[in-house]
Amino acid sequence: MDQIAWKIGGDQGEGIDSTGDVIATVASRMGYFVYGYKSFSSRIKGGHTHYKVRIADHPVRSAVPETHVLVALTQETIDRSVHEVVPGGAVIADEGFQPSLPDGCGLPLIAIPMGRIARELGNPVVRNMVAVGATSALLGVPLARYEAYVSLKFEGKGQGVVDVNLAALRAGFEAARAVLPDGLGFTLPEVAEKGRLLMTGNEAIALGALAGGCRIMAAYPITPASDVMENLVGLLPQHGGVVCQMEDEIAAITLVIGASYAGARAMTATAGPGFSLMQEGMGLAAMAEIPAVIVDCQRSGPSTGMPTKSEQSDIMAAIFGGHGEGGRIVLSPSTVEEAFADTAEAFNLAERYQTPVIIASDLALSEWKQTVEHLPIEKVTIDRGEIAPQDFLRHLQRGSFDRYALTDSGISPRSLPGQPHGQYLATGVEHLPSGKVSEDPRNRKSEVDKRARKFQPLIDDPTGVDYEGPATPDLLIASFGSVTGAIEEAIATIGESTLHIGRLKVRRLWPFPATAFRKCLEAAGEVMFVEQNSTSQLRRLSELVGIDTSHATSLLRYDGILFTPQEIQAAIRSRFARQEVS
């Protein structure tokens, strides 16, 4: 078997996350590719939740419909998920709730007194570790693998906590072994360890920020962006930086603007409603040409929407949000590696173009763990953009520095507070090259044009898209963000040798890489946009810049559920059914 999907379900607050983390991390340490994701709701206790871990010998970055091993802590888990369990799979359940499978489903039920074992160990909370022990027996993974990681995971909580968790693992393992039917079980052989990483997008964003020289982070807690802040709390203070939890998102973005104005690399991270609140601040940064890095972990909207569900519906807000016409750069990572690289590079772009740079992540990319082959740390460079040299400023009279000088590139060197004779007024009011306010019509036009001119080179920059596939594909699948994982897997496993499929992911949503994008679309027989929003925002965006999408269709999801490779394959097959390629 080249892959196994393991899933645990239960009530929120029962350690579902922790259990998923153990299964995923141990598989990663054994050398497997892993993707771990869950479904949860916006509350702390109660409500059904599940965590699914895909374990494979090849890269996996998407949800799948099937499950091989289902671990049920409640009957609701069985009722909701047993239909996913494939023939040859099994259900492990806590005997305590008298689990029952639907009539005739034919699956083996491995009932173990998880709750009772935990209570006998004196800590009902370790019921989930009994489940891990049982999983260990079923998957054929040596228990020592789990013991090693669990010891490490709970190290900080004291030897007592470690011991009871280890005892639970062992008891679960033995209880499962005692009741496992002959011939049932999987094998996950040890593969050569690659030292790969297992990481969420938000963890990579935090590391990317650190690598990119970010030393100030300000944010307001919001799902699914809070852990960018929490991860940076563990990183920045050790490296001379600071993280500020603010009173709201407006304070967060304006603190970032103040810090960037003063010459630090600063960022914020938010989602949904918080992103809306930041729009005015981003307008100021665009107008006063102050760098700012904003991570938007997109979730279902508008308003509160579905805060715990992934969506890709903020791209118009990211590009055009706020009043007036301010320039922004919007990056779109689709993998954890890209989340790292884009975040590090965002600080270069923000300072080079003196403008807000938005990293448009999404909940699935931000929150779900995936295997990282290599974090491209060695590729990170630091480019502070154009800063007025001290030798130049020294000869100026105080107050005569033209901060917003009309240059050919549109980029005007900036001075930083503390630089002698570099004083100027940075303002959200329209201003002269000196920074002094002005409503002169000619100046207004020249400053607007100057700010717009800065972005011109990016439109033709081919790095804004990433294409993989034949030169003239029958079908081109266009996307951005985390859905790319399901698309890649769909293409890799569709098994249609006569159908040539290419995938085009947009890596920079704005300035839109129109030249490269158009070229790819023109070379394709047919085009399908796959997006997690209801209006096909990427397609609309490409139409906006004059790209013909009349030969395209859109496959859209906006129900909070992640795309699977299988449904993308089904869409491809139905599209090409007339060509008899199924």
Partner 1 sequence: MSEPITIDDLKTDEKSWWCPGCGDFGVLAALQKAIVELGLSPDNLAIVAGIGCSGKIGNYINSYNIHVVHGRTLPTAMGVKLANRDLTVFAVGGDGDGFAIGMGHFIHACRRNMNITYIVMDNHIYGLTKGQNSPTSDFGAKAKATPWGSIEHPVRPLQAALAAGATWVGQGFSSNQAQLVRLIQEAVNHQGFSFLNVISPCVTYNKVNTYAWYKQNLASLDDEAKHNPSERADALRLAVETDEMVTGLLFEDRDAPSYDSLVPGFSTTPIVKQDLILPEEAWDNLLAAFR
151 binds partner 1 (CB under 8 A): no
189 binds partner 1 (CB under 8 A): no
Q: Are 216 and 265 in contact (CB under 8 A)?
A: yes
Sequence length of the chain is 582
Identify the residue whose tokens are 């009173």. 247
3-state secondary structure of 182: coil
CB of 426 to partner 1, least distance (A): 5
459 binds partner 1 (CB under 8 A): no
CB of 362 to partner 1, least distance (A): 21
340 binds partner 1 (CB under 8 A): no
Of the ranges 248-256, 309-317, 470-478, 481-489, which one interacts with partner 1 (CB under 8 A)?
Answer: 248-256
CB of 490 to partner 1, least distance (A): 28
218 binds partner 1 (CB under 8 A): yes
216 binds partner 1 (CB under 8 A): yes
199 binds partner 1 (CB under 8 A): yes
CB of 151 to partner 1, least distance (A): 15
219 binds partner 1 (CB under 8 A): no
- b/e sequence 72-102, b meaning 16+ C-beta within 10 Å: bbbebbbebbbebbeeebbbbbbbbbebebe
29 binds partner 1 (CB under 8 A): yes
552 binds partner 1 (CB under 8 A): no
36 binds partner 1 (CB under 8 A): no
CB of 344 to partner 1, least distance (A): 11
CB of 483 to partner 1, least distance (A): 24
544 binds partner 1 (CB under 8 A): no
Using the minimum distance from each CB to partner 1, give the nearer residue, 334 or 371: 371
Concatenated DSSP letters of 234-270: TTTGGGT-EEEE-SSHHHHHHHHHHHHHTT--EEEEE
Q: Which residues contact 494 (CB under 8 A, 6 or more apart)?
A: 501, 569, 572, 573
Helix pair 226-233, 201-211: axis angle to 10 deg: 50
237 binds partner 1 (CB under 8 A): yes
Q: Which residues contact 359 (CB under 8 A, 6 or more apart)?
A: 205, 293, 294, 295, 296, 331, 333, 339, 342, 343, 346
CB of 50 to partner 1, least distance (A): 23
CA-wise closest residue to 573 among 582, 564, 561: 582
Exposed/middle/buried for 108, CB within 10 Å: 0-12, 13-18, 19+?
middle
CB of 28 to partner 1, least distance (A): 8
3-state secondary structure of 305: coil
Site map (CB under 8 A) of partner 1, residues 270-299, x = contact: ----------xx-xx---x-x---------
CB of 199 to partner 1, least distance (A): 5
CB of 103 to partner 1, least distance (A): 45
377 binds partner 1 (CB under 8 A): yes
Using the minimum distance from each CB to partner 1, give the nearer residue, 277 or 541: 277
396 binds partner 1 (CB under 8 A): no
Q: Are 297 and 363 in contact (CB under 8 A)?
A: yes
221 binds partner 1 (CB under 8 A): no
- How far apart are alpha carbons 520 and 47 in whole angstroms? 45
- How far apart are alpha carbons 3 and 344 in whole angstroms? 33
- How far apart are alpha carbons 98 and 117 in whole angstroms? 15
CB of 340 to partner 1, least distance (A): 11
324 binds partner 1 (CB under 8 A): no
CB of 436 to partner 1, least distance (A): 6
Using the minimum distance from each CB to partner 1, give the nearer residue, 211 or 483: 211
Using the minimum distance from each CB to partner 1, give the nearer residue, 12 or 245: 245
CB of 280 to partner 1, least distance (A): 5
CA-wise closest residue to 130 among 297, 255, 18, 233: 18
Using the minimum distance from each CB to partner 1, give the nearer residue, 180 or 425: 425
416 binds partner 1 (CB under 8 A): yes
24 binds partner 1 (CB under 8 A): no
In the numeric block, which tokens belong to residue 106? 């034919």
60 binds partner 1 (CB under 8 A): no
Helix pair 279-287, 249-261: axis angle to 10 deg: 20
350 binds partner 1 (CB under 8 A): no
Phi, psi dihedrals of residue 5, rounded to the nearest 5°: -110, 120
Q: Is 306 left (phi over 0), alpha (psi -120 to 50) or beta?
A: beta
In the numeric block, which tokens belong to residue 436? 């002094």
255 binds partner 1 (CB under 8 A): yes
CB of 415 to partner 1, least distance (A): 8
- How far apart are alpha carbons 200 and 424 in whole angstroms? 42
Contact with partner 1 (CB under 8 A) among 372, 465, 504, 514:
372
Of the ranges 11-19, 348-356, 419-427, 518-526, which one interacts with partner 1 (CB under 8 A)?
Answer: 419-427
- How far apart are alpha carbons 140 and 261 in whole angstroms? 57
Using the minimum distance from each CB to partner 1, give the nearer residue, 30 or 521: 30
Q: Are 495 and 565 in contact (CB under 8 A)?
A: no
- How far apart are alpha carbons 104 and 165 in whole angstroms? 36
250 binds partner 1 (CB under 8 A): yes
Contact with partner 1 (CB under 8 A) among 101, 129, 277, 426:
426
Q: Please give the residue ranges that form the binding site for partner 1 (CB under 8 A).
A: 28-29, 195-199, 203, 207, 210-211, 213, 215-216, 218, 235, 237-242, 244, 246-248, 250-252, 254-266, 280-281, 283-284, 288, 290, 372, 375, 377, 382, 398-399, 416-429, 436-437
